[in-house]
Structure 1
Amino acid sequence: MTPVTPEIAVRENAELGEGPTWDPAGARLIWVDILGRRLHSYEPDSGRRSVTAVDQHIGAAKPRAGGGLVANLRDGIGLYAPDGAFSWLRHDPVPGRRGNDAAVAPDGSLWAGTMRYDEAPGGGDLVRVAPDGTATTLLDPVTISNGIGWAPDAALTYYIDTPTRRIDILRVEDGRVVERREFATVEPGAGFPDGLAVDAEGCVWVALWDGGQLRRYTPHGALDRTVHLPVPRPTACAFGGPGLRDLYITTARTGLTDPSPLSGSLLVLPDAGQGLPGTPFAG
């Protein structure tokens, strides 16, 4: 495989950049600054970008089938109409807790994770939110609910609870997790697994918080590629751009006493591989 070098897509000072997602309808990448309460969009073809302030911490934002976005917010799941109008789909505020990473499943439901601000063990969960707002708990308790993704045939779900250092495989039947097993583990000293993306070959790309790198694991869980990044805290990755061949990487500067000049920026690995088309939220 030809090596690729990280490039700057958007130079930014996000406190906690997260949740990159390709929006094919707008030919744009959507990402968030959780602690900065900002929703970002970037159009690679034109270079045009926008930044929208939101009222509370926002863990992730994903396209909706009818236009607009669904967001995993501090106090629950919110809907943004195409004109920007906001409404709650599921209002579930818990003191000291906020929404974190989220992903849309192949069936159009939203899988949304939470965590406590103090990162207390077992303070978060992972729920499946149906288009009508009905929520089913998938995993409880978890600590820092993070990366979520599906194999190309949708038969397997990959999931990360960051402090475990593991990428797990979930088997789901009738909307419930019936099996959870280890897929791969990040060794101590190499950072902590955060967000993930699955490519068309079924390989799993993982951003390593405090590891300054991306790793790609084969469908059998073997590490076959490491990409070193110019930032210590990459947070998540997603395929986007023409043909879904570019891998975008969000990064953070929060908690760093001496951040890299690029900490908080949106990076990109051009022609990193073949991504999978996403599913919009059906609600």
Structure 2
Amino acid sequence: MAFNVEPLVERIGSMQCGVGESPVWHAGEQALYWTDIPDRKLWCWNFFSGQTNSWPLPEMAGCIAMAPNGWAMAMETGIFLAPPPSAGIALGPLQRLATVAHARPDMRFNDGRCDRQGRFWAGTMVLDTSLGLPLGKLYRFDADAARTGRVDAVIDDLIVPNGLAFSPDGKTMYLSDSHASRQTVWAFDYDVDTGTPHNRRVFIDMNAHPGRPDGAAVDADGCYWICGNDAGFVHRFTPAGRLDRSIAIPTSKPAMCAFGGPGLDTLFVTSIRIGDDPLSGATFAVRPGVTGLPEPVLHL
């Protein structure tokens, strides 16, 4: 597909998040949800009314996923279920679904999402990324974890796990490590029946492209969109790992992207607040000329 015109990037709302992460499109509400990690908030923006709402959270939530009866949240100490939020009403008590055993106390969950079958995947990291400690792990929350109340690690030796996404057929899993010493996106063959990734290989060496690999999404063509943190871009890579396109974002630290809107033709991009840049921490919307895929719902 040829892209001849640079699309318009618009800001939605006026919020300025500390770290805007995990945007998820809720088709039933025609609304975008995302989390502000350090400010411990859940945000919502309605596509048609433009209204924004936020709810305080008891812990930092690195990523969220739709659940049949609310929102699954990977937080500091485990996986929780939050009831459906309502505007102007405090978020009800959270139900703990599973506990995680971190390697050290100063850790939390970071990037994550559901696979096409509804398993919730989320990675952990040490809060002080300057330490460069490879203590992060990628966890799978599925029916077994729901029964035992404990998640087990599937992949370890991660510093800052990010970029989790799945191909349209669910048979390829993508995962990045955005730490400056790694800057790599891997692809895995993915067993959709067991939820097991294998045959790990380098998909993108981001040292060859602007920005560190942060949050990502996959479009209906199977192309992989990833935020180039520190460089102010969202990049599109083909399934073969070739850079196909880059869209400039008006702040240097885009964090994660997701497709949404009534036609799934809008790419939403969250970002990280830095210094006195008034657009940092904002959430943006762009219509790149391609469509995304419906976000899966947690299935247990």
Which interval holds the TM-score relative to the shorter structure? over 0.9
Q: How many angstroms apart in 2 are the aligned matches of 1:112 and 1:242?
A: 27
1:106 is matched with which residue? 116
Contact 1:18 1:235 in 2 (8 A): yes
159-168 or 240-249: bigger deviation: 159-168
- 1:42 Cα shift? 0.6
2:224 is matched with which residue? 204
Q: Please state whether the residue corresponding to 1:232 is helix, strand or coil.
A: coil
Contact 1:74 1:93 in 2 (8 A): no
Contact 1:239 1:276 in 2 (8 A): yes
2:64 is matched with which residue? 61
- 1:185 Cα shift? 1.5
Matched AA of 1:177? P
1:5-154 alignment, distance < 5 Å: 5-64=8-67, 66-82=68-84, 84-92=92-100, 94=102, 95-119=105-129, 120-131=132-143, 132=146, 133=149, 135-154=151-170
Matched AA of 2:265? R
In structure 1, the gaps of 5 or more residues are: none
- 1:6 Cα shift? 0.9
Q: Please state whether the residue corresponding to 1:18 is helix, strand or coil.
A: strand
1:267 aligns with 2:284: yes
Q: Please state whether the residue corresponding to 2:263 is helix, strand or coil.
A: helix
Residue 194 of structure 1: which of 211, 214, 226 is its match?
A: 214
TM-score, L = length of structure 1: 0.94
- 1:189 Cα shift? 7.5
TM-score, L = length of structure 2: 0.89
Contact 1:197 1:237 in 2 (8 A): yes
204-213 or 268-277: bigger deviation: 268-277
2:202 is matched with which residue? 182
1:158-169 alignment, distance < 5 Å: 158-163=174-179, 164-169=182-187
Matched AA of 1:170? F
Q: Please state whether the residue corresponding to 2:215 is helix, strand or coil.
A: strand
In structure 2, the gaps of 5 or more residues are: 86-91
Residue 247 of structure 1: which of 248, 253, 267 is its match?
A: 267
- 1:9 Cα shift? 1.2
- 1:261 Cα shift? 1.4
Contact 1:23 1:30 in 2 (8 A): yes
2:298 is matched with which residue? 281
Q: How many angstroms apart in 2 are the aligned matches of 1:195 and 1:259?
A: 23
1:221 is matched with which residue? 241
273-282 or 74-83: bigger deviation: 74-83
1:155 is matched with which residue? 171
Count of matched residue pairs: 279
- 1:49 Cα shift? 1.5
Q: Please state whether the residue corresponding to 1:187 is helix, strand or coil.
A: helix
- 1:239 Cα shift? 0.3
Q: Please state whether the residue corresponding to 1:249 is helix, strand or coil.
A: strand
* Sequence identity percentage: 31
Q: How many angstroms apart in 2 are the aligned matches of 1:272 and 1:181?
A: 30
- 1:221 Cα shift? 0.7
What per-residue deviation string (whole Å, max 9, x for no partner) do you get for residues 82-115 of structure 1? Answer: 3633110012253010010110011111001110
Contact 2:81 2:94 in 1 (8 A): yes
Q: How many angstroms apart in 1 are the aligned matches of 2:54 and 2:177?
A: 29
Q: Please state whether the residue corresponding to 2:62 is helix, strand or coil.
A: strand
